[in-house]
Amino acid sequence: MLAASDLVQVKTLELQQNVLISGPVKAVNTAVVKARAPGELRDLSVREGDTVRVGW
């Protein structure tokens, strides 16, 4: 059972946290894209964040 002193009024607050670090920053998720044959990429029909699937 809760006592009246266990209850508080809810408030909206903006939280800010800064972390000072040194060294390289690495992504959590990465992908390596390699070609099956050497050559030069002349056009790319997708952009970062686009959904892609296997096939043509």
Q: Is the whole-model pTM more than 0.85?
A: no
Cα(45)–Cα(30) distance, integer angstroms: 20
In contact, 19 and 25? CB cutoff 8 Å = no
In contact, 28 and 34? CB cutoff 8 Å = no
Write the pLDDT tens digit of every residue in 3-13. 888 888 888 98
Find how far residue 10's CA is from the centre of its chain: 30
Q: What is the DSSP code (8-state) at residue 31?
A: -
Write the pLDDT tens digit of every residue in 22-33. 998 788 888 887
Confidence category of residue 56, pLDDT binned at 50, 70, 90: low
